[in-house]
Chains A and B, each alone.
Chain A
Amino acid sequence: MNVQATSKRPNGGRASLKTLITVGALAATALGWLLFGKPDSAEGSSTAPTEATLPPGWAELLAPLPTLVPPGVAMVGPSAPATQPALRRVSLPAPAPKPVTITRSSRRK
Chain B
Amino acid sequence: MSGTVIALLGAALAVILPGIGSALGVGLVGQAAAGVVTEDPDKFGQTLLLQALPGTQGIYGLLTGFLIMQRIGVIGGNLLDLTTGQGLAVLMAAAPIALVGLLSAIYQGQAAAAGVGLIAKRPEELGKAIIYAVMVETYAVLSLLASIMLLFGLSL
Q: Do A and B come from one complex?
A: no
State the A residues within 8 Å of B (CB): none
